[in-house]
Structure 1
Amino acid sequence: MLPVNGIEMCVETFGEPIDPPLLLLAADASSMDWWDDEFCRRLAAGRRFVIRYDHRDTGRSTSYPAGRPAYSGVDLMYDAIGVLDALRVPAAHLVGFSLGGALAQRIAVHHPSRVLTLTLMSTSVDGTAPGHAPVTVAGPVAVSAGTVTAVVRTVEAPPATDETDWSNRRAAVARMIDEVRARGGPFTPEEPHLRRSAERVFDRSADLAATRLNHRLAGYGPPVRDMLCSIAAPTVVLHGTLDRHITTDHPEELARSIPGARLVWLDGIGHEFPPRAVWTQVLTAILALAT
């Protein structure tokens, strides 16, 4: 637990502090638990000092009453910088997923000296996304000679009106599993793995109802669309070909907007933290930025 911007933030590190620092920024309403432990260890094995943390209102970091977040999307950006300050890290490689990608864009625009490289995953310009679309995901997978064949199945996306009792462990865990599966693809982890992750999230969270509502109310912060052209940090945009939450035109626009940015497609991946099937591709893309 570290004091950051007048609150308490839960932070965890992997690797050696003498290695180049790498900060992982999670999605909205997502604690650091969604960054897989082994994924973090493999990043650290690539000679990175890996830092992950709970956004405020997630995990063990400071929580606020549901519907009354005393912060904005700008504060979430400064929390990321505050974590670096608390660890006495002058600049870091930033890896952001969804909302985390939006925060990384803002840091690169407004505080470029804090950014070594940018990896923007499953996000868009300013992190904004269209409304939820009907979700169809792939089922059983066969891989032959590098070709992925999937049997398509339909998963009901969670309703727009949130009637989940987030104080009930069983209901909350089931809802989180359903959401990950609805936004995933053929390589999304199986139910036992998702259950372990969701249970860990529930057990570490002060108030999941507040987590869900407050991050939506806080928003992503003022737009930086017209300032992305000023980003000088080496940048890679990673995006799943099956991401139906943020469609393919969004990462294409993002890559065009940042000078020298490279767009890498993740075949068979939905709107999800990187599943094990693409770890090698993702880790290579992240680590290659600084070489």
Structure 2
Amino acid sequence: MTPRSGERFVDSGDAQICAEAFGRASDPVVLLLGGAATSMDFWEDEFCSRLADGQRYVIRYDLRDTGRSTSYPVGEPGYTSEDLVDDVLAILDGFSVKAAHLVGISMGGAIAQRVVLDHPGRVSSLVLQSTTPAVAGTREQVELPPMDPKVAAVFASDAPGPDWSDRAEAIEAMVEGERSFAGSVPFDSKRMRRIAARSYDRTANMAAMQTNHWVLGSGEPAQTRLSDIAAPTLVLHGTEDPLFPYAHGEALTEEIPGARLVPLLGMGHQYLPEPLWGLAIEEIVAHTAR
């Protein structure tokens, strides 16, 4: 059975960040950075255990306003994206880790880009999944394709949202929200309902979790470029991503020196569907063996 640390809290500025580790602390460290409005529960237990079984020490954590980490009033996050970068450093310090391999999905991928640019000594390598350039590149600027109109309509809708205090309603809203971002890899609604239920039960304020990351201040603009990234970089991107179409993954690969792109066939904008775990874990373990 894969060893687990159990949940622990790390201080980061005025916040407490909840984190958990899988595997042996003597192995290379892989830190998982989640996407907006999702707790660490979306990095599923079995996925973390299987990654740890590849002789990796896997750490996942709740972003601010998710899970058991510090929550803020709805619509009033008391932090910026710079604080989310600082949270990564606080977690590494809290687990006595000098440098880690960062695996970031969507917003977590943007955070990972800023961490490696601002604090390169803390990052052994990058894995960027389902994300987009968070800072400028040096090549001639090519306009990246926009999100799919169906997804754009979801973001633009002014229809009343769910009652996030109603457990059943909130869980179904999370499931259907994830379904709208899925690709042609079969969507497992039973599995997603289980994840959503666990996330709901661990999260202090679901309305804040579903709101605050979307109104977050960006802090000071980056003075660096993607071409400044020196860490070995692996890009994992779904071929059917409706939020950041596949060209976004290609742009990252072209701009980051030495980056390698692995297409995830049929995947949308989502945490890895179980049928793709084997491929992704194999790629991550091989990439972090340095």
TM tier relative to shorter chain = 0.7 to 0.9
**Match of residue 254 from structure 2:** 256
Instruction: Give the aligned partner of residue 109 of structure 1.
Output: 117
Between the aligned residues of both structures, percent identity stands at 45
Residue 53 (structure 1) shift: 0.3
Give the alignment partner of residue 126 of structure 1, picking from 119, 122, 134: 134
Alignment-derived partner of residue 141 in structure 1: none
**Larger strand fraction of residues:** 1
Aligned partners of 1:176 and 1:290: how far apart in 2? 32
The question of 1:8 aligning with 2:26 is answered no
When residues 66 and 157 of structure 1 are mapped into structure 2, their CA distance, relative to the original with a 3 A threshold, is closer
Tell me what 2:5 maps to: none
Q: Which moved more, 1:162-171 or 1:63-72?
A: 162-171
Tell me if 1:198 matches 2:213: no
Unaligned runs of at least 5 residues, structure 1 = 137-155
- Residue type matched to 1:160 in 2? S
- 8 A contact 1:157–1:178 mirrored in 2: no
| SS of residue paired to 2:175 | helix
Name the CA shift for 1:220/1:22 in 2 (closer, same or farther; >3 Å): farther
The SS at the match of 2:191 is helix
Structure-1 separation of matches of 2:20 and 2:187: 23
Distance change in 2, residues 1:262/1:94 (3 Å): same
Amino acid in the other structure paired with 1:89: V
Superimposed CA distance per residue, residues 191-239 of structure 1 (whole angstroms, 9 cap, x where no aligned partner): 2111111111111111111112211111455554852111111101110
Distance (Å, rounded) in 2 between the aligned partners of 1:119 and 1:157: 28
- CA distance, structure 1, for counterparts of residue 217 and residue 249 of structure 2: 20
Classify the secondary structure of the residue corresponding to 2:180: helix
Aligned CA RMSD, in angstroms, stands at 2.1
- The structure 2 residue matched to 1:46, chosen from 54, 58, 64, is 54
Instruction: Give the distance between the partners of 2:223 and 2:277, measured in 1 at CA.
Output: 29
Instruction: Tell me, yes or no, if the aligned pair for 2:135 and 2:224 is still in contact at 8 Å.
Output: no
Change in 2 beyond 3 A, CA 1:127/1:285: farther
TM-score by length of 2: 0.88
Deviations 1:85-128 (A, max 9, x none): 11111100000000000000001101000000100000010189
1:56 matched to 2:64? The reply is yes
Moved over 3 A (4+): 127-132, 156-159, 219-226
